Chain A
Amino acid sequence: MENKTKEKSGLLSKISGMTDSNLLLTITIVVFILMYIGAMVFLGKGFLKPQAFFNILNENAALIILSCGLSLVMITGGIDISVGGVTALVTMSCAVYLDYHNGSVGGAMLLALGIGLAFGLVQGYLVAYLDIQPFIVTLAGMFFAKGMTTIINSDPFNVANENFVALKNTRVNVPGMGSYNKKGIYVNAYVEIGVIIAILIVILMFMMLRWTKLGRSFYAVGGNRQSALMLGINVKRTRFLSQLFCGILAGIGGFVYFLHVGSGAATNGAGAEMNAIASSIIGGTMLTGGVGNIIGTLFGVLSLSTIKNIVASAGLDQAWWTGITVAAMLCIFLVVQSIVVARKK
């Protein structure tokens, strides 16, 4: 008995001794796992096959990349709401380039990167060196990207370029995760190319934020700009780089989105910025800056899309339920965050 209470208090002290970042990360991962197990137990069917999980990844590879970018700017204390617009612009530009100008797939990739880079450079310069509020700058960026998309081509269309379609349909099999279908034939589990890009980016970002000097300086600037300056960190350059990286990631994310849907349309990536912000928040990143974790962001995206899938397969097919559940989830996580912050005071 005595031993048990001791253990419990040990666990409690462990929890209360955790940093904000680790505690929020733990909460996110636990919630995701509970939610997924719950879905498997109560809804069964669609969630039992490993492929269901890989489909979530396939659907959301682009969102994972966009959320990584947003987490980075949010950790640095900024915001970027232009990522959805950049996604639309990238899909449309690449689609027009491939189909109307007989472009190559490699060229389209460079184009996507170039667009992201351009947005990152301009927005980063305005935010960091001219000290304009990031919200306004990236709001203008979003407007500009959305408007440019329809100026380039106002009608949505599917890309027919052979090389591109081949790349789009490339499936990477995941060994040992396949399952038998109704006819008893073994079907391999697969992921799309975008997922591999997304996972590579998650790993790179995680290592950068955790183990490099630059990565730590993002946290320092987001936590307290004044003291970061006192520590000798180049605050302007750090903020510039965070916005720049987010822009580049938006370009890559846009291309991955394009690779998944295979069409250019002004409605592509609509609301992606809000989904990405929501994912980052659910993943434990704070908009006030200084707190956040890329692994959490990954789980944030997964949680968000799992709950959408649960809503869809639980028979609540009226369109409004998705909006309401996602909002409710966001609300709960925000309140938890505010309690975690208040706990110290």
Chain B
Amino acid sequence: MMQKNKFQISNIFRNQIFIPLAALILLALFNLIMDPSFFKITMGQNAAGNPVLSGYLITILDYGSELAILAIGMTLVTAASGGQDISVGAGIAITGSVILRMLCGRNSRPDELQMPIICAFLIAVLAGMLAGAFNGLLVSWFKIQPMVATLILFTAGRSIAAWINNNELPIVSEPSFGYYGNFIPGIPIPTPFFIAVAVMIVTALLLKFTNLGLYVQAVGINAKSSRLNGLNPTFIKFLTFVLLGVCVAVAGLIKVSRLSTINYSVVAKDIEMDAILAVALGGNSLSGGKFNMTASIIGAYVIQFLTTTLYKFNVKSTALPAYKAIVVILLVVFSAPVVREFISTKWKQLRSTDKIAKEVA
């Protein structure tokens, strides 16, 4: 009985979800001790007079959603290619710009939309897939390291986004466009959360009913042997980048819908770093191979939890990265294999001396 119990505990520690969950619990405890009002959720009204929930937890659900969507795509890319896409922020600028261009046409202050929002969104998805395909082609076909290949779009992306709209800043006045990034009238929970849940369900179904997950991991662990087993690593790497492109387009819709406009140089700035951190925080190896999607998604919300906590304690948005960096360093240091091994040997030594002491007694 005793033996079995111990086994289970060590199993929990070894589980990948343990890392982000532990971080989440630590953050929640910290907030509970410092100021329990962090967890208060109130029912209020927004500017349009609709009932909405507000509170820090709601903010986390709201703003963590696009990060979670990006983390899903980023996890697949990381697992298959052993590298990260740093162009997702620029990709959001491109897809957001495409949506606005399609909705507004040549006029940057249209009285009515030029096409249904869903059509504009689908075109943006195509644009996102195209950007993903470009990255994917460089990575899979030309065998360029993902970080370097995506450096190209990282450099050019925001310029392309500005070029699409001729450097104008279109503003959509249609209120229904704002639903995707804010609230749908009558529903007090922010819409981005529902969009994120929908993306998660689609991903879960994709991983459950197709071999995508297995193939991606096989390619990530060893591309050569997966080829010998009849897989096509080039295509699978390419596919993960295209899928990330779709995720980027969804996040782009949320981002432009929040403000009903776009600022090319600021929109989704540094979000690629947060998305990569979410994957790392989920305990996924950044050099590819096995992945755990749930852990990545929790990781994304943990990052948002951290950001919101820091905001609550009046940390300025520009100083935010310094605190984030300290947390990240602590996390990676404690999850580093070298450190873990060191701690576990120390722990074993401690236990054995304990045992000897007991026996002597």
Contacts and interface: CB of A to CB of B under 8 A. Distances in A.
A79 interface: yes
Interface stretch (B10-18, B28-36, B322-330): B322-330
A147 B159 contact: no
B291 interface: no
Contacts of A146: 318, 321-322
Interface string B263-289: 000000000010011001000001100
A136 B325 CA distance: 10
B255 interface: no
B333 A130 contact: yes
Nearest to B337: A131
A339 to B, nearest CB: 8
Nearest to A335: B142
A334 B335 CA distance: 34
Nearest to A123: B329
A320 B160 contact: yes
B235 interface: no
B143 A341 contact: yes
A278 interface: yes
Interface string A325-338: 01110110011011
A28 to B, nearest CB: 16
A278 B149 CA distance: 11
Interface residues of A, number: 47
A278 B148 CA distance: 8
Interface string A272-308: 0010011001000001100000000000000000000
B322 A324 contact: no
A147 B155 contact: no
Given A132-B336, A334-B149, A144 B159 contact: no
Contacts of B332: 126, 132, 136-137, 140
Contact of A140 (B155, B159, B287, B328): B328
B322 A274 contact: no
Interface string B28-56: 00000000000000000000000000000
Contacts of A321: 159
B230 to A, nearest CB: 22
Contact of A338 (B144, B147, B321): B144
A154 interface: yes
B101 to A, nearest CB: 14
Given A140-B325, A141-B325, A330-B152, A324 B163 contact: yes
Given A132-B333, A287-B148, A322 B159 contact: yes
A313 interface: no
B257 to A, nearest CB: 24
A327 B156 contact: yes
A341 B142 CA distance: 10
Interface of B: 84, 138, 142-145, 147-149, 151-160, 162-163, 167, 273, 276-277, 280, 286-287, 316, 318-326, 328-329, 332-333, 336-339
28 contacts: A129-B338, A131-B337, A131-B338, A132-B333, A132-B336, A135-B147, A136-B332, A139-B273, A142-B321, A142-B325, A146-B321, A147-B320, A147-B321, A147-B325, A150-B316, A154-B319, A278-B155, A319-B162, A319-B167, A323-B155, A323-B157, A323-B160, A324-B160, A327-B159, A330-B151, A334-B138, A334-B142, A338-B142
Nearest 6 pairs of A and B residues by beta carbon: A147-B322, A323-B159, A327-B156, A320-B159, A144-B325, A143-B321
